[in-house]
């Protein structure tokens, strides 16, 4: 049976035009694919950019005079969720999801209460998180993961137990129906059926620091491209992209040739570090991110396998990033300063 198709949104039925267009999707017939197959449209921007970074890693490393590596990964492409939903063993879950989406659309058309909307969204997430793993999915993920060098947890175990990553994949798929994500799409008149969700499965890297580098200042609408701005946090980057309380260390290089300047000192309250060896992170990878006029990044969830992360308070009294000026400058300058060409500016040369 085909997966349920939710009814069109009220905006669509009224003839309204969506404020943004979601990226076109090409469904894959595979359950899992490796980085060489990460084509845009088959996967989302995260996977596609990771594959591109993997291709240029050696060139970036040569320019920097250091070893640059990309974590191994495997992706569940666009279409995997719909195929799982259509599996015979998931007929009940598919029906429950369809009922929830019908309630959601009817509620939107009738201007239902927020409580009714939240109930429908919760029912949708519960339906998705109840999906059974279709036959062949685990084996295909294990095979692709082994070839790509992803950790043993992605390859399953001899006992035949459910893979540790499966519940996290379901939670990523279900994050399409969080209140914030739904409200964001509704505000733009985007039909529910047009947002597609892939999942990028990666090893959790035991990072000391993580950063995000913007090719232009996201806080200024008139910022020119090339005015790189970076944000650095202690530990894993989930405290940054997950909107945890506090600020990251922020720095900027206002124009090509400008050196990095400090914009903000770090104040993130929590540090997340890699926990159990071999942990995996399942990252949302939709076709609704990195779009003009739509802040899609961060709308959908990423989840780490059990025991994969340790949460601690950030000890800024002894944090080198705050008190060791040369080290802090090296972290920030290494990210965005031009000249000399450092990490961020070198990477941007391959993506601009």
CB-count burial class (<10 Å; 0-12, 13-18, 19+) for 332: buried
Of residues 158 and 72, which shows the higher confidence score?
72
Mean predicted confidence (pLDDT) in 49-71 = 85
Amino acid 14: pLDDT = 38
Lowest-confidence segment of 164-173, 244-253, 325-334, 339-348 by average pLDDT = 339-348
- Calpha distance 344→328 (Å, rounded): 15
Q: Which residues pair with 229 in a beta bridge?
A: 214, 252
- Could you report the per-residue pLDDT of 164-181, keeping only the tens digit for each? 999 999 999 999 999 999
Amino acid 170: pLDDT = 98
Amino acid 177: pLDDT = 96
Lowest-confidence segment of 35-39, 51-55, 286-290 by average pLDDT = 286-290
Amino acid 7: pLDDT = 40
- Could you report the per-residue pLDDT of 114-173, keeping only the tens digit for each? 888 999 999 999 999 999 999 999 999 999 999 999 987 787 665 567 899 999 999 999
- Calpha distance 318→316 (Å, rounded): 5
Cα atoms found within 13 Å of the Cα of residue 237, Cβ hemisphere only: 14
Of residues 223 and 213, which shows the higher confidence score?
213
Task: Judge whether residue 224 has pLDDT over 70.
Answer: no
Query: Tokens representing 24?
Result: 């076109």
**pTM (predicted TM-score):** 0.85
pLDDT confidence tier of residue 256, bands split at 50, 70 and 90: low
């Amino acid at each position: 049976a085909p997966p349920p198709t939710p009814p069109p949104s009220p905006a669509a039925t009224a003839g309204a035009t969506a404020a943004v267009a979601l990226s076109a999707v090409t469904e894959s017939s595979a359950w899992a694919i490796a980085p060489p197959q990460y084509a845009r449209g088959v996967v989302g921007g995260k996977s596609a950019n990771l594959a591109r970074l993997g291709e240029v890693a050696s060139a970036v490393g040569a320019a920097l005079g250091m070893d640059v590596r990309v974590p191994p990964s495997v992706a569940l492409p666009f279409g995997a969720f719909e195929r799982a939903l259509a599996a015979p063993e998931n007929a009940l879950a598919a029906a429950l999801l369809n009922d929830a989406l019908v309630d959601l659309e009817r509620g939107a058309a009738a201007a239902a209460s927020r409580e009714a909307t939240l109930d429908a969204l919760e029912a949708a997430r519960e339906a998705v998180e109840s999906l059974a793993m279709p036959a062949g999915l685990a084996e295909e993920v294990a095979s692709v993961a082994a070839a790509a060098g992803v950790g043993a947890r992605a390859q399953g175990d001899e006992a035949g137990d459910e893979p540790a990553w499966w519940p996290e994949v379901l939670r990523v798929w279900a994050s399409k129906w969080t209140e914030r994500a739904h409200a964001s799409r509704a505000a733009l008149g985007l039909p529910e059926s047009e947002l597609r969700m892939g999942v990028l499965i990666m090893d959790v890297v035991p990072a000391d620091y993580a950063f995000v580098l913007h090719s232009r200042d996201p806080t200024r609408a008139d910022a020119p491209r090339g005015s790189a701005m970076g944000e650095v946090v202690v530990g894993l980057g989930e405290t940054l992209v997950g909107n945890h309380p506090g600020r990251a260390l922020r720095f900027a290089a206002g124009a090509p040739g400008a050196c990095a300047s400090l914009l903000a000192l770090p104040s993130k309250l929590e540090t997340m570090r890699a926990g159990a060896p071999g942990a995996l992170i399942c990252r949302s990878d939709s076709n609704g991110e990195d779009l003009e006029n739509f802040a899609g990044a961060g709308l959908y969830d990423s989840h780490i396998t059990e025991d994969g992360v340790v949460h601690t308070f950030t000890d800024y009294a002894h944090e080198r990033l705050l008190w060791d000026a040369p080290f802090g400058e090296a972290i920030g300058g290494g990210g965005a300063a031009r000249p000399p060409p450092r990490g961020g500016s070198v990477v941007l040369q391959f993506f601009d």
